Amino acid sequence: MRYRPAPPPRSARDQRRRLPIWRRQALVLTVLVALLGGGTSAALAQPAPPPPNPSDDELQRSRDSVSRRADEVGRLSAQLAELDSRTDDLQAALAAQRETAEAALVDLQVAQDAATAAARRADAARIATQAASVAIDQARARLDEFVTATYQQGIDIGPLGLLTDSTSPEDLVARAEFNDLIARSQLAAQDGLERARVDKANADSAARAALEDARAREAEARTAKAAADAAFAAAEGAAREQAEQLAAVAATRADVQRRLDAAESADAGLRQQRARFDDWQRRLAREQAARERADRDAAAGRVAAGTPRGGAPAVHGGSAGVQRVIDRALSQIGVQYVWGGGTGRGPSTGIPDGLGSPLNLIGFDCSGLMLYAFSGAAVSLPRVARNQYNAGRKVPISEIRPGDMVFYKNGSAPIHHVALYIGNGQMIEAPYTGASVRVVPLRTRGLLPEATRVL
């Protein structure tokens, strides 16, 4: 029992006034019985003790405690909101690092393709050089054969030989024709040798140029490979660092949540308010999930049937192409986020995120979802968000309409996120690792002032 200092002495009248009515009535009855019983009060039955009666000070302290807890609830709620904002910033910074790494990967692929093509050209030039060398050898062999034959047979193809060796006018004409044939053959052999030498010189020049180009392309590919490796190393390092920071934030948040729960549990009224709020949140979540399932199933049905939205509300308005783009995106609601996942054909295996996630996850990242949605309208988009921003016409955010792509960036960092505006102040997105494709209100934090319109 807690010690309480004795109250200051009061008069008998004051003490009687502070007693409850039932207690004063019992005291009067006891006195009357004692007076009437002539001193036999020992046999009188004593009244039951009263229940605890908190004093005015205790009641005030209880009210003050509730007030202090209510203030703490407000302070902790504000702290939780700040932690949520910090988590969003960390996710945005990580997404920017990953976009940079993926863009470097695209550059590497382009450089490798160019190096492969240059190598093929160098191989073709080398084959041409080899063919020219063979042609020279063959032409030289023919000329050598002609000279050898002329020497071995002792044929005099000069004018003196024609006159001295001929035996008749007919023999002279025949010898002249034969000498002319030999002269033409000799000229042809010499001309073939010269052409073969020219062809080889040209082939050698082309081969050297192709080889130099191949070496340059290979150097570019090595540079791009180094840039991609550095970008991926930076992304993985950033992922680990961000994971540590997010773990610290999560631990702080958990501690704050425990204190918030304790503060709410201390007062029944606040606990009831939280219960009503939780019920409301769960009801809203169920309704939202039901709406999303209905939208997803309806959109999937329209995509499978190849028909645009018919008789739908104006919330998703626009042309049939825009409606098909929106339907294809809506049909993927609930598909998990996978960094680097998604093609024009649907969800796909992504890129390992450096956080120990399984390597065989299939899903979409933000730009992959756009690839799939717009492929339904025969629109081919670049792979990463920052390149998709430049894939169409820019329109002010105040003039956006369904089918426009909206983009996000964090401060001076590059663009790290893209979503599809579907009308009625809503957008569909593949947000971040651990989440799924979802429909949410259009966020304004980090939103670029211009959207991109391709339809």
Give per-residue pLDDT as tens, 250-297: 787 777 777 777 766 766 666 676 677 777 878 877 888 888 888 888
Same fold: 73-263 with 286-453: no
Concatenate the DSSP letters of all residues of 259-278 into one string: HHHHHHHTSHHHHHHHHHHH
Choose from 88-97, 174-183, 184-193 the range with maximum mean pLDDT: 88-97
What are 351's two structure tokens? 């890129």
CATH number of the 73-263 domain: 1.10.287
The rounded percent of the chain whose pLDDT value lies above 70 is: 71
The residue that leads in pLDDT, 384 or 127, is 384
**Where residue 111 falls among pLDDT bands split at 50, 70, 90?**
confident
d(CA 70, CA 74): 6
Class level of CATH domain 286-453? alpha beta
Residue count of the chain? 455
d(CA 368, CA 437): 11
Minimum mean pLDDT range among 118-127, 234-243, 328-337, 434-443: 234-243
Rounded mean pLDDT, 132-150 = 73
What are 202's two structure tokens? 């040209």
d(CA 206, CA 444): 58
**Catalytic residue chosen out of the listed positions 264, 292, 366, 416:** 366
**DSSP 3-state assignment of 438?**
strand
Q: What pLDDT is stored for residue 380 in this prediction?
A: 94
- Provide the residue type at 323 as one letter: Q
Q: E strand or H helix at 42, and its extent?
A: none
**Where residue 179 falls among pLDDT bands split at 50, 70, 90?**
low
Q: Is 378 left (phi over 0), alpha (psi -120 to 50) or beta?
A: left
The yes-or-no verdict on residue 408 having pLDDT over 90 is yes
What are 178's two structure tokens? 């034969």
Please count the other Cβ atoms lying within 10 Å of the Cβ belonging to residue 320. 13
Our answer to whether residue 366 is catalytic in this structure is yes
The residue that leads in pLDDT, 110 or 145, is 110
Residue 443 burial (CB < 10 Å; 0-12/13-18/19+)? Answer: middle
Residue 257 burial (CB < 10 Å; 0-12/13-18/19+)? Answer: middle
d(CA 354, CA 98): 10
Residue among 69, 67, 16, 24 nearest 47 (CA): 24
The yes-or-no verdict on residue 244 having pLDDT over 70 is yes
Please count the other Cβ atoms lying within 10 Å of the Cβ belonging to residue 226. 12
Burial 344-362 (b: 16+ CB within 10 A, else e): bebbbebbbbbeeeeeebe
Choose from 104-113, 307-316, 348-357 the range with maximum mean pLDDT: 104-113
**Catalytic residue chosen out of the listed positions 102, 220, 292, 429:** 429
**DSSP code for 4:** -
Task: Break the chain into its structural domains and give their ranges.
Answer: 15-46, 73-263, 286-453
Give the global pTM: 0.56
d(CA 293, CA 333): 8
CB-based contact 329:303 (threshold 8 Å): no
The yes-or-no verdict on residue 65 having pLDDT over 80 is no
- Strand partners of residue 31: none
**Catalytic residue chosen out of the listed positions 102, 220, 316, 417:** 417
The residue that leads in pLDDT, 39 or 305, is 305
